[in-house]
């Protein structure tokens, strides 16, 4: 490999670009995780982190990838053989379902065309049909990272309430937390699953379960074997700022800084920034004459945009050209979308000029790879960004 000058553009929908403030925060000596200095760090983070989830409830932190937090949510909340209602919105929903099935849970899957989110009415009907209340949990991926479609969690909560069903509500926010408005308490979510490497702007390696009182109560009678993932052990140690095993100390330094950055910017401004960059990206895609995968305007993801390749053109060949020519990584098509879509990540530590560079790389890449398109997508996005203030996007 020869040295590539300048900064690599990491425009996949996670892991995302880690800002310098977070890198500097992580670059400290590791301390004794049983000592007083650590307790102060632990208590500070555990006190502030729930604000990012818009919850008053505790957030459990694991040294893990997001997949671990999927497993933690299920093994704590459920008993062997329990039925879970899941919605196949895309590849991440498929992976969560496969994980649940491997663990021995009885998964009832509601299909979609992978171009729409989870349908509140379909969920309501499935729950209404379940008059015996065999379904113990409804599991939804908020932002389906494989498709760029965001399900409407508040509306799904209302559907569960209309069906008067007691199931727990489990939501994967791995690619939406700190990017797309997410209100755990207002939407009555019982377990929020999250990870460090997307909207939180950290390297991979931390994962989260935010847990409601109802979820903690359910875990006390749930009989699935668990040890490493046990909420009880973590919650007990967290009271004094500690963890039951060695935490990822340096990532926690980074987490403390990323929470500070998000609260300095203000969550509403963070969400408006993501909405605005997503809108500008869709404008560019439309101007190129290409198609966004998401079909419902109410469900466009603000974290990423999945773009369909024209017939006869391979998305991964195009991505390889962009990487080679412009040192930019775009997201690959996952599962049944392999080769058919590429994904533009516009989440995390990101601003107008980074978006401009990203879209320029895509437009130049389309030309270089011989993909039929109209020019002018970047220009259209720049005009729109110049005219639209973040405040306006907020209002
Ligand atoms: C990235 C992602 C995951 C997987 O997280 P890992 O850290 O790779 O285990 C799960 N769900 C969603 C929605 C994601 O975006």
288-307 per-position pLDDT tens digit: 999 999 999 999 999 999 99
208-267 per-position pLDDT tens digit: 999 999 999 999 999 999 999 999 999 999 999 999 999 999 999 999 999 999 999 999
Structure tokens at 115: 């171009």
Cis peptide before 15 (omega within 30 of 0): yes
Domain ranges of the chain: 20-264, 267-393
CA dist., res. 59 & res. 255, Å (int): 13
138-179 per-position pLDDT tens digit: 999 999 999 999 999 999 999 999 999 999 999 999 999 999
The Cα-based distances of 279 to 36, 227, 353, 384 in angstroms read 47, 44, 15, 9
322-357 per-position pLDDT tens digit: 999 999 999 999 999 999 999 999 999 999 999 999
pLDDT, residue 242, reads 98
CB of 171 closer than 6 A to ligand 1?
A: no
Q: Ligand 1 pocket check: which of 67, 88, 345 to mutate, most ligand atoms within 8 Å of Cβ?
A: 67
CA dist., res. 347 & res. 150, Å (int): 14
**Cα 355 vs. chain centroid, distance in angstroms?**
19
What phi-psi label fits residue 40: left (phi over 0), alpha (psi between -120 and 50 degrees) or beta? alpha
pLDDT bin (cut points 50, 70, 90) of residue 373 is very high
Structure tokens at 100: 């649940």
Percent of residues, the chain, with pLDDT higher than 70: 98
98-127 per-position pLDDT tens digit: 999 999 999 999 999 999 999 999 999 999
- The 3-class SS string of 182-250 reads CCCCCCCCCEEEEECCCCCCCCCCEEEEEECHHHHHHHHHCCCCCCCCCHHHHHHHHCCCCCCCCCCHH
- Residue 395 clears pLDDT 60, i.e. is over it: no
CB of 230 closer than 6 A to ligand 1?
A: no
- Residue 361 clears pLDDT 80, i.e. is over it: yes
92: CA distance to ligand 1 center in Å?
A: 7
Structure tokens at 241: 């700022």
**E strand spans, the chain:** 9-11, 59-63, 83-88, 106-111, 135-141, 143-144, 149-150, 168-172, 191-195, 206-211, 291-292, 304-308, 328-330, 341-345
Whether the Cβ atoms of residue 66 and residue 194 lie closer than 8 Å to each other: yes
As assigned by CATH, the class of the 20-264 domain is alpha beta
pLDDT, residue 393, reads 43
200: CA distance to ligand 1 center in Å?
A: 13
CB of 92 closer than 6 A to ligand 1?
A: yes
Q: What is the mean pLDDT of residues 186-197?
A: 98
CB of 195 closer than 6 A to ligand 1?
A: yes
The Cα-based distances of 28 to 98, 135, 193, 243, 369 in angstroms read 39, 47, 28, 20, 44
pLDDT, residue 391, reads 59
- Residue 1 clears pLDDT 80, i.e. is over it: no
- Residue 394 clears pLDDT 90, i.e. is over it: no
For 231, list phi and psi in degrees, rounded to 5. -60, -45
CA dist., res. 368 & res. 60, Å (int): 47
CA dist., res. 130 & res. 115, Å (int): 27
> Is CATH 3.40.50.300 correct for 267-393?
no
| Sign, Cα dihedral of 96, 310, 151, 182 | positive
Whether the Cβ atoms of residue 215 and residue 189 lie closer than 8 Å to each other: no
Lowest mean pLDDT among 4-13, 24-33, 307-316, 385-394: 385-394
């Amino acid at each position: 490999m020869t040295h590539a000058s300048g900064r690599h553009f990491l425009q996949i929908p996670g892991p995302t670009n880690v800002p310098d403030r977070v890198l500097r925060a992580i670059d400290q000596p590791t301390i004794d995780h049983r000592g007083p200095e650590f307790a102060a760090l632990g208590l500070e983070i555990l006190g502030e982190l729930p604000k990012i989830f818009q919850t008053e409830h505790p957030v459990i932190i694991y040294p893990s990838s997001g997949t671990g937090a999927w497993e933690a949510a299920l093994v704590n909340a459920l008993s062997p053989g329990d039925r879970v209602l899941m919605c196949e919105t895309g590849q991440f929903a498929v992976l969560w379902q496969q994980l649940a099935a491997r663990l021995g849970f009885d998964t009832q899957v509601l299909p979609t065309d992978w171009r729409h989110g989870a349908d509140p009415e379909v969920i309501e009907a499935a729950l209404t049909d379940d008059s015996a209340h065999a379904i113990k949990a409804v599991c939804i991926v908020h932002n389906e990272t494989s498709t760029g479609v965001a399900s409407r969690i508040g509306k799904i909560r209302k559907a569960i309430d209309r069906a008067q069903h007691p199931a727990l509500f489990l939501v994967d926010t791995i690619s939406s937390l700190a990017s797309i408005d997410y209100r755990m308490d207002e939407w009555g979510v019982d377990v929020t699953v999250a990870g460090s490497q997307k909207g939180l702007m950290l390297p991979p390696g931390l994962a989260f379960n935010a847990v409601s009182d109802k979820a903690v109560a359910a875990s006390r009678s749930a009989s699935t074997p668990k040890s490493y993932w046990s909420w009880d052990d973590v919650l007990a140690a967290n009271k004094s700022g500690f963890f039951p095993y060695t935490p990822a100390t340096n990532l926690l330094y980074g987490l403390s800084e990323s929470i500070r950055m998000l609260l300095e910017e203000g969550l509403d401004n963070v969400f408006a920034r993501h909405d605005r960059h997503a809108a500008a990206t869709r404008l560019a895609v439309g101007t190129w004459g290409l198609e966004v995968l998401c079909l419902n305007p109410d469900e466009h993801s603000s974290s990423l945009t999945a773009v369909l390749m024209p017939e006869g053109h391979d998305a991964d060949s195009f991505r390889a050209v962009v990487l080679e020519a412009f040192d930019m990584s775009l997201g690959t098509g996952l599962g049944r979308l392999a080769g058919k879509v590429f994904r533009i990540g516009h989440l995390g530590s990101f601003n107008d000029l980074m978006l401009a560079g990203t879209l320029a790389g895509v437009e130049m890449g389309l030309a270089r790879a011989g993909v039929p398109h109209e020019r002018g997508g970047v220009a259209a996005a720049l005009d729109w960004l110049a005219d639209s203030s973040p405040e306006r996007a907020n209002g």
